[in-house]
Amino acid sequence: MTPAPFPAARMRRLRRTRALREMVQEHRLSAADLIWPVFIRDGQGITEPIPSLPGVNRLSLDRLLPAAEQAHALGIPAICLFPYTDQSLRTETCEEAWNPENLTNRAIRALKAEFPDLMVMTDIALDPYNANGHDGFVIDGEIVNDETVAALVKMGLAQAEAGADILGPSDMMDGRIGALRMALEAQGHRDVAILSYAAKFASGFYGPFRDAVGASGRLVGDKATYQINPANAAEALACVARDLAEGADMVMVKPGMPYLDICRAVKDRFERPTFAYQVSGEYAMIMAAVQNGWLNEEKVMLESLMAFKRAGCDGVLSYFAPKVAAALKG
């Protein structure tokens, strides 16, 4: 609908006071929209800064619990666990990924025992456990699909067994959602949700994350044979359609800000719960400018997340989550 011509329409009439602006605000960001990605590590009493992610730390489990409690108290409904696996446990066969006693599975149990209402999400991919930093097994230089899917199913089942509420396959192997869904049903895990990293692009914005999980130095080559070419939108939509058909309950677009067009298209086309991941590089860019005094942290953090709401997302994974929730409360 086109507004009347000037001066019948003056767009500034509804911008005049704060109350008017709030009355006509189209989108709102709330703590309930946030999933907080957290890096965990072994040890006791450890809060270890990650240089390329200012303000983000690797936490030992005793430090994770109070942090999770605080996030939950701020209204954040879910946290997503990413393990920094001890370098000695990384092998080419990745068995640590489905060890029921691995760091992630111990963290899930500890969190669910203390805060049963806080949703715990996990990541399913082999990279934190792989000697070569890839999300799948590497055999003769090739990232093999079907063998990897079988391992990912074991990994997901171990997480479900430990009590995870939401599984997040981030590996981009073909067929993993269907295989995981069937295995969950067969093992009686009927209510475990899958949030598929469905439209995951082969992005340069994951750099600081790979530092955080200790995979940067190990990664041989790149992930272009399994993640989506950043130039492809139709292919991303096909991946979302496929993952929903195989049993994903929710889907994700990743990275976030450079792919807002994909977020909008996914929401419009599928009308299913749609999430974006504001990835490590997006967070790092903002924080680098903030640290230089070039951008206002609170303003830009809130604006960057509002963009996802405007683009149709139901929620966002963001390293800013606790800060955002606190800012919205304050």
Give the residue numbers marked as catalytic.
200, 254
Task: Give me 215's structure tokens.
Answer: 């995979």
Q: Residue 31 corresponds to which amino acid?
A: A
Terminal CA-CA length for the chain:
37
Least distance in Å: CB of 25 to ligand PBG? 29
Measured from the CB atom, the residue of 170 and 274 that comes closer to ligand PBG is: 170
Measured from the CB atom, the residue of 96 and 127 that comes closer to ligand PBG is: 127
Measured from the CB atom, the residue of 127 and 246 that comes closer to ligand PBG is: 127
Q: Residue 41 corresponds to which amino acid?
A: R
**In the complex, which residues of this chain contact ligand PBG (CB under 6 A)?**
123, 125, 127, 135, 170-171, 206, 209-210, 223, 279-280
Cβ-contact 281, 207 below 8 angstroms = yes
DSSP structure string for 58-103 = EEEHHHHHHHHHHHHHTT--EEEEEE---GGG-BSS-GGGG-TTSH
Measured from the CB atom, the residue of 33 and 123 that comes closer to ligand PBG is: 123
**Three-state SS sequence of 172-196:** CCCCHHHHHHHHHHHCCCCCCEEEE
Cβ-contact 173, 226 below 8 angstroms = yes
Measured from the CB atom, the residue of 138 and 279 that comes closer to ligand PBG is: 279
Q: What are φ and ψ of residue 117, in 5° steps?
A: -85, -15
Residue 200's H or E segment, with its range, is strand 193-200
Measured from the CB atom, the residue of 116 and 204 that comes closer to ligand PBG is: 204
Grouping H, G, I as helix, E, B as strand and the rest as coil, residue 6 is coil
Least distance in Å: CB of 110 to ligand PBG? 22
Measured from the CB atom, the residue of 98 and 206 that comes closer to ligand PBG is: 206
> Pairing relation of β-strands 138-139 and 142-143?
antiparallel
> Pairing relation of β-strands 142-143 and 274-278?
unpaired
Least distance in Å: CB of 160 to ligand PBG? 18
Q: What are φ and ψ of residue 202, in 5° steps?
A: -80, 85
Q: How many CB atoms lie within 10 A of CB 118?
A: 19
Least distance in Å: CB of 129 to ligand PBG? 11
Q: How many CB atoms lie within 10 A of CB 207?
A: 15
Q: What does the DSSP 8-state code read for residue 311? A: T
Least distance in Å: CB of 286 to ligand PBG? 13
Least distance in Å: CB of 216 to ligand PBG? 9
Least distance in Å: CB of 278 to ligand PBG? 8
Q: Residue 65 corresponds to which amino acid?
A: L
